[in-house]
């Protein structure tokens, strides 16, 4: 199968070739023909499967083949995304794949001044990519009118709902014309998302390229059993290996992200932190440094990391396991092994996180390989600093392990 077999027009094929892609991914192969036929679509696909191009390419083609006049403040296509970073990357994809076409597009999100965004919308755009909060703000100020909308895309709906955007999304949908083509993309399809889809879509085609709640098969997963106080030392030991070239580290809190990044930088490892307390300018600079290789490591919280879409992340490290939202583990490790590449995910599991590990293994229906480790205690004392302080309150008072690794797997009984 080639992109030409999907009956894409030459300007799109030229843009695809310029990016070095030769064959569509499964989600692209299945979704593009249905979207070109004007059908509503539910796409269930995890990150790293090429789902953005799966809707960008056909929508660009449809708009080019049925051009409409530009109406100020009234986009033809609206794409809703949960985070600023994801919205910006989707907008970049429209620019990339539409580089040999004539159309207007812009992206709007919070955390920055709305002046330039309002100016772009007021002149009229074909494609508007937006986060729900900023879009509602501009709609309430009458800077955006959705009466003439033809195409709606909701990307990463599960994350959008996890972040509390359900009410905002419903308010936006209430302002849309009934006659439109809608595309609904999510990594999972729990009941509340299925109910939302029923209110949005008309006789949708369902495309699912991977079983729900499964890990990316190309990711090699390993767990290291550690004492909480030794996490930073073991992390430093892992980062000594040269094959950890582009590393994304997850922490549970914003403060932990800052502390880990600071500890790594102190040890000569250039690291950036990204989380919700960072300004948009800081987040953009951090991502640019990470993408360019100027920073080898990015330390992130779950919410901020949702928008990180970088093909060459070699390793993901769970500095903290996602004890509150277990399915975040699947999203985290899916940040590596993208675009057909292989990747590795390490998890540093302290004693208080073992219940979460059991739940993760139950979710992914496999036992994660246990990896032994060693470290120098003087390194732990010198390097840790704030990164090895006691974990959040709910973890205090729990008994810590006196060993760096277990002697058996009896604690894993289900």
- 257 and 340 share a domain? yes
- 153 and 278 share a domain? no
Nearest to 160 by CA among 135, 131, 181, 138: 131
Residue 246 belongs to domain spanning: 219-412
**Where does 103-249 have alpha helices with state H?**
115-123, 132-140, 157-162, 166-173, 191-200, 231-239
More confident residue, 152 or 403: 152
pLDDT score for 396 = 39
Asked whether residue 407 carries a pLDDT value surpassing 60, the answer given is no
Tokens of 58: 């056909």
Asked whether residue 410 carries a pLDDT value surpassing 50, the answer given is no
Q: Are 288 and 316 contacting, i.e. CB atoms less than 8 angstroms apart?
A: no
pLDDT score for 304 = 64
> How far is residue 107's CA from residue 79's CA, in Å, rounded to a whole number?
9
- 230 and 105 share a domain? no
pLDDT score for 342 = 77
- 181 and 95 share a domain? yes
Tokens of 145: 């009118």
Report, as an integer, the average pLDDT of 118-144.
96
Cα-to-chain-centroid distance, residue 67: 32
* pLDDT tens digits, 258-280: 999 999 999 999 999 998 888 87
Residue 213 belongs to a domain: no
Asked whether residue 60 carries a pLDDT value surpassing 70, the answer given is yes
pLDDT score for 384 = 46
> How far is residue 222's CA from residue 231's CA, in Å, rounded to a whole number?
15
Q: Which residue has the tokens 């009934």?
A: 178
pLDDT score for 114 = 95
SS3 73: coil
pLDDT score for 387 = 54
Q: What is the number of domains present in the chain?
A: 2
> Most confidently modeled of 113-117, 185-189, 287-291?
113-117
Q: Are 54 and 27 contacting, i.e. CB atoms less than 8 angstroms apart?
A: yes
> Most confidently modeled of 56-65, 308-317, 366-375?
56-65
Nearest to 183 by CA among 160, 166, 206: 206
* pLDDT tens digits, 218-233: 789 999 999 999 999 9
* pLDDT class of 138 with cuts at 50, 70, 90: very high
pLDDT score for 363 = 84
* pLDDT tens digits, 93-107: 999 999 999 999 999
Tokens of 252: 């549970």
- The residue from 185, 208, 231 where one domain ends is 208
Residue 175 belongs to a domain: yes
Residue 376 belongs to a domain: yes
* pLDDT tens digits, 1-23: 899 999 999 999 999 999 999 89
> How far is residue 298's CA from residue 291's CA, in Å, rounded to a whole number?
10
Nearest to 47 by CA among 343, 308, 249, 323: 308
pLDDT score for 220 = 92
Residue 363 belongs to a domain: yes
Q: Which residue has the tokens 């975040």?
A: 328
- 183 and 230 share a domain? no
Sheet order of strands, 369-370 included: 271-274, 297-300, 247-250, 315-318, 343-349, 219-225, 369-370
* pLDDT class of 337 with cuts at 50, 70, 90: confident
* pLDDT tens digits, 346-364: 999 999 999 999 999 988 8
Report, as an integer, the average pLDDT of 143-160.
94
Nearest to 259 by CA among 389, 394, 392: 389
**Where does 80-165 have alpha helices with state H?**
84-97, 115-123, 132-140, 157-162
Asked whether residue 178 carries a pLDDT value surpassing 80, the answer given is yes
Report, as an integer, the average pLDDT of 381-393.
49
- 159 and 240 share a domain? no
* pLDDT class of 391 with cuts at 50, 70, 90: low
Q: How far is CA 210 from CA 45, 309, 386, in A?
A: 6, 19, 40
Report, as an integer, the average pLDDT of 378-406.
44
pLDDT score for 402 = 38
pLDDT score for 373 = 76
Residue 136 belongs to a domain: yes
- The residue from 188, 208, 228 where one domain ends is 208
- The residue from 160, 180, 208 where one domain ends is 208
- 160 and 280 share a domain? no
Residue 92 belongs to a domain: yes
pLDDT score for 328 = 85
- 125 and 235 share a domain? no
Asked whether residue 195 carries a pLDDT value surpassing 60, the answer given is yes
- 346 and 232 share a domain? yes
- 274 and 395 share a domain? yes
- 169 and 225 share a domain? no
Q: Are 226 and 317 contacting, i.e. CB atoms less than 8 angstroms apart?
A: no
Return the percentage of the chain with pLDDT > 90, whole number.
Answer: 63
User: Average pLDDT of the chain?
Assistant: 86
pLDDT score for 334 = 82
- 162 and 251 share a domain? no
pLDDT score for 414 = 34
Q: Among 1-10, 15-24, 54-63, 404-413, name the one with the lowest average pLDDT.
A: 404-413
Report, as an integer, the average pLDDT of 407-414.
36
CATH of the domain at 320: 3.40.50.300
Residue 214 belongs to a domain: no
**Number of residues assigned to the chain:** 414
Residue 193 belongs to a domain: yes
């Amino acid at each position: 199968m080639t992109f030409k077999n999907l009956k894409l027009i030459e300007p799109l094929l030229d843009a695809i070739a310029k990016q070095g892609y030769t064959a569509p991914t499964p989600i692209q192969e299945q979704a593009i023909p249905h979207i070109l036929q004007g059908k509503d679509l539910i796409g269930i696909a995890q990150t790293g499967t090429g789902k953005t191009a799966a809707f960008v390419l056909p929508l660009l083609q449809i708009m080019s083949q049925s051009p409409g006049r530009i109406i100020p403040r009234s986009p033809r296509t609206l794409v809703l995304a949960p985070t600023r970073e994801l919205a910006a990357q989707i907008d970049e994809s429209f620019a990339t794949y539409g580089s040999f076409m004539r159309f207007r597009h812009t992206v709007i999100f919070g955390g920055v001044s709305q002046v330039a965004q309002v100016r772009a919308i007021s002149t009229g755009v074909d494609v508007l990519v937006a986060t729900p909060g900023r879009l509602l703000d501009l709609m309430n100020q009458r800077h955006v009118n959705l009466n003439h909308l033809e195409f709606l895309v909701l990307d990463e709906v599960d994350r959008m709902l996890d972040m509390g955007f359900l009410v905002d999304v419903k308010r936006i949908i209430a302002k849309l014309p009934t006659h439109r083509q809608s595309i609904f993309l999510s990594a999972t399809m729990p009941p509340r998302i299925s109910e939302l889809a029923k209110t949005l879509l008309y006789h949708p085609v369902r495309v699912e390229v991977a079983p729900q709640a499964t890990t990316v098969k190309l990711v090699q997963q390993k767990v290291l059993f550690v004492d909480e106080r030794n996490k930073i030392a073991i992390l430093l030991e892992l980062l000594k290996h040269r094959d950890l070239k582009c590393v994304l580290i997850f922490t549970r809190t914003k403060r932990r992200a800052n502390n880990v990044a600071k500890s790594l930088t102190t040890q000569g490892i250039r690291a950036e932190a990204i989380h919700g307390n960072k300004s948009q300018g800081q987040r953009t600079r951090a991502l640019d440094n990470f993408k360019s290789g100027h920073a080898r490591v990015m330390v992130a919280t779950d919410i901020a990391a949702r928008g990180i879409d970088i093909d060459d992340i070699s390793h993901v490290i769970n500095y903290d396991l996602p004890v509150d939202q277990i399915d975040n583990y699947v999203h985290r490790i899916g940040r590596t092994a993208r675009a057909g590449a292989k990747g590795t995910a390490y998890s540093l599991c302290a004693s208080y996180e073992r219940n979460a590990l059991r739940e993760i293994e139950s979710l992914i229906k496999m036992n994660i390989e246990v990896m032994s480790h060693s470290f120098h205690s003087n390194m732990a004392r010198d390097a840790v600093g704030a990164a090895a302080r006691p974990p959040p309150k709910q973890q205090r008072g729990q008994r810590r392990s006196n060993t760096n690794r277990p002697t058996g797997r009896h604690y894993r009984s289900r």
